[in-house]
Each structure stands twice: as structure tokens, then as C-alpha cells.
Amino acid sequence: MSDVRELFATLTGRVADGVWSAPGRVNLIGEHTDYNEGFVLPFAIDRRTVVAAGRRDDGLVRVASTFAAEPVRVELTDLARVHAEGRLRDWAAYPLGVVWALGEFGVDLSGVPGVDLVIDSTVPVGAGLSSSAAIESAVALALTQLWGLDFSRETLARVGQRAENDVVGAPTGIMDQSASLLGSADAAVFLDCRSLVAEVVALGFAEAGLVVLVIDTGVRHAHATGGYRDRRAACEAGAAALGVPALRDVGIDDLSGARDLLDETTFRRVRHVVTENQRVLDTVRTLRTDGPAAIGALLDASHVSMRDDFEISVPELDVAVEAATSAGAIGARMTGGGFGGAAIALAPADAVPAISDAVEKAFATRRLASPTRFTVTPSDGARRDG
């Protein structure tokens, strides 16, 4: 935190007005349910993106990041044109995209003073922990408070999503930004992706002595984007064939009838989404009635459904999940969009070293590159730090 203040001082020659931060997230359960208007249950993690911000009075936005040597600058009154010309690119598309999106949400960009932003982060990039939502949420909250704007955190989540969809060009839902902005210590964000109503649900990991081990396989498949698009299309086709606006409207009891109306592959895609939605609801209920140690079977079933019905797992993720479960995890599943990325294992804190070793050995036996492993703790969402 002090580092980002120092960097701000070095780059701008003055003292930052404040420091804000926002976390990455892990999705505990509810995969590929967001665009089907269903349910997700992510939590904010103890890896954060930090933004030092200082007002300017000349209508200029300058952003710098520890990721990039060169700061990027743009006139606020030029931002719409620069975006229209496709010149908001690379990492700067995230923070400047947020500024642009604030304009789309009603902020008069010729009436705000300007800003210097300096960004640092401990959220690993591209590991499925949403470093993108972390940077968007940190910038969105910083600008809101620095410029005295009147936006709820729910609206800021939509601002971040808008930046990611329209400026970065990634067709993502609102889960990541919601987790990053609405998360709370030892709690998850239970989000209804149709109504966008979010509820904070206590996890109780601390009291139960549980942690989440992230196992990043390091696998990043080039066909992930195509695979994601294909699964979305299958879900849309399934919903159309079943005569519903979205798969959210299909319940477990409807599945036997759906089998006759869908081809075999589409049926399995639909079954994943329908059962996954139910598993999110069951997880929330189980957390409330029996506590976190009782949700393991739901996590395991989620993985099996993604592996067999949705077919978005890869051998490395299956190996990680199997090894973690055999070595004492309460439950484990791949998390994120699939075709690589990370798995998570919910485990007693004292079992983590053994689980981590077992995963390492399982990978070595199969001649797979050793996966990166680290624990995450459910943490507070975006906030002002100083």
C-alpha cells in the first residue's frame, strides 16, 4: 500500500489524495450459470488491486501500472472519441474503460476535474481469479469517492462490466465485479443473475478451521474462447427448444421431459446448468443449516457435472480435483470458465500441506508441470485504504 503511494509520488511529484483497493474472487459454486440468468456464489479473496489516486484540475486522466513502463494519458473530453476509434487498448482499457463507462452511466465527463491513477496488484493475472474485476472495481470506487459521485456498489459493478464488455471487448457477466465490490470477510456473495439481487452469505470458514486451496494448473487453452461461445450457444439453443427465456426457468423436475425435446449433447449441457443452479441454492441452504463442512459433496458434484455434462474440464483439472479429494479435501472442483485455469479445494487448514503435496505428486506421476498452489481467505470487497 505504501509502495503504491511512493510510486504515485515518484510518477506525479505530489501526494496521492487517497488509496483504494478491490479484491479478486473465487467462485465457490455456480459455473456457467450467470449467462443463463441463474445463481452464482463467489467470494472476494485476500489478493487485491490497489489504486493511488489524485485529483487533477485540467480534465486529464493519466493511468500508470506496475505492469507497464509507460503511463497512458487521455483528455476526458476526448475519451469517447478515443474509444470509438478503438484506441483504448491493452491494460489501460480496464481503468480508462471504467472512466468511459461512468460517462455511459450519466457522469458528465467534461464536468469532472481529471485524475492521476497509479495501480499495483497482488491478484495473479489470467489464473481465473479475476484480476480484471479487481482493477475495474478499485478504479470505479476510487473515482466515485474522489469525484464525489453518487453510485451504489451494485451500479459500480455494472460500470465495471460495461467497461469489460464494451471497451476491453470481453463478453462477461456481472459476477466478478459483484464479488469484488460486495464481498465481505468470511462471506460469499449469493447473486441472482436475473434480478441482480445480491445477498451476503456467511461462510463460517474461520470458525470451522477451513481454507480454500487454489490449484492453478497453468493450462491456458487457445480454444477456451471458442469453447465458451459454443457452450453459451448450446444453452441458448436448449432454452429456445424448451420454450423458456433462459435455462434459469428450467427446474430439476423438468429434466426428464427435456430429454425428449433435445439432442443428446444439448440435453447434457442443459442438465449441467439446471443441476448447477440447484447446487448453488443447496449450498446456500446447507451453509445456513449445517455449516461449511457439509458442502463438500455439492462441490464434488459440480465438478463431475462440468467434466461429464458440460465437458469444459481438462485432464489437469481432473487430476487436481481427484488428488485433493483423496488427500483429505472436503470437496473440490474446477472453477472459472474451463478449458484450463484453476481448481479449488475446500479443506481443513491443517490438511493443506498434505493435499498440496499429493497434488504435486499426482502431477509429477503423470509428467505434468507442477501447478501453482496457494490458499485464499474470503475477504472484504472494495474499500478505501488510506
- Spell out, one character per residue from 131 to 150, where the chain touches Mg ion: x when CB under 5 A holds, - when not: -x------------------
| 33 near ligand ADP, rule: CB under 6 A | no
Q: Which is nearer to ligand ADP, 224 or 273 (CB)?
A: 224
| 20 near ligand ADP, rule: CB under 6 A | no
Contacts of 153 (CB under 8 A, 6+ apart): 141, 181, 182, 381, 382
- Which of 216, 288, 3, 233 has its CA nearest to residue 119? 3
Query: Distance between CA 347 and CA 296 in Å, rounded?
Result: 9
Instruction: Output the smallest distance, CB 322 to Mg ion, in A.
Output: 27
183 is in an annotated binding site: no
Residues 47-66 that bind ligand ADP (CB under 6 A): 49, 65
Query: Distance between CA 207 and CA 101 in Å, rounded?
Result: 40
| Interacting span for Mg ion (CB under 5 A) from 124-132, 202-210, 265-273, 327-335 | 124-132
C-beta of residue 200 within 8 angstroms of C-beta of residue 187 = yes
Q: What is the largest CA-CA distance in the chain?
A: 69
| Interacting span for ligand ADP (CB under 6 A) from 74-82, 127-135, 235-243, 267-275 | 127-135
131 is in an annotated binding site: yes
* Environment class of 380 (CB within 10 Å of its CB; exposed 0-12, middle 13-18, buried 19+): middle
Instruction: Output the smallest distance, CB 291 to ligand ADP, in A.
Output: 30
C-beta of residue 65 within 8 angstroms of C-beta of residue 56 = no
- Spell out, one character per residue from 75 to 114, where the chain touches ligand ADP: x when CB under 6 A holds, - when not: ---------------xx--x--------------------
DSSP per-residue letters across 155-172: HHHHHHHHIIIIII----
Q: How far is CA 302 from the centre of its chain?
A: 17
| 130 near ligand ADP, rule: CB under 6 A | yes
Query: Distance between CA 361 and CA 337 in Å, rounded?
Result: 26
Q: Which does 226 bind (CB under 5 to 8 A by kind): ligand ADP, Mg ion, none?
A: none
195 is in an annotated binding site: no
Q: How far is CA 3 from the centre of its chain?
A: 25
Question: Which residue out of 46, 78, 108, 176 is catalytically annotated?
Answer: 176
- Other residues' Cβ atoms within 10 Å of the Cβ of residue 229: 11
E strand spans, the chain: 18-29, 39-55, 60-65, 72-75, 115-121, 187-192, 198-202, 210-220, 331-335, 340-348, 372-376, 383-384
| 161 near ligand ADP, rule: CB under 6 A | no
# binding residues, ligand ADP (CB under 6 A): 16
- Which of 296, 336, 331 has its CA nearest to residue 312? 336
- Residue 344, classed as helix, strand or coil, is strand
| Interacting span for ligand ADP (CB under 6 A) from 128-136, 251-259, 271-279, 323-331 | 128-136
Among 11, 125, 206, 255, binds ligand ADP (CB under 6 A): 125
Instruction: Output the smallest distance, CB 57 to ligand ADP, in A.
Output: 25
260 labelled catalytic: no
C-beta of residue 232 within 8 angstroms of C-beta of residue 37 = no
Instruction: Output the smallest distance, CB 23 to ligand ADP, in A.
Output: 12
126 is in an annotated binding site: yes
Q: Which is nearer to Mg ion, 175 or 306 (CB)?
A: 175
Query: Distance between CA 119 and CA 321 in Å, rounded?
Result: 34
Binding-site residues for substrate, in ranges, read 31-34, 228
Q: Where in the sequence numbering do the catalytic residues fall? A: 176
Tell me which residues touch ligand ADP (CB under 6 A).
Answer: 49, 65, 67, 90-91, 94, 119, 121, 125-126, 128-132, 135
Tell me which residues touch Mg ion (CB under 5 A).
Answer: 130, 132
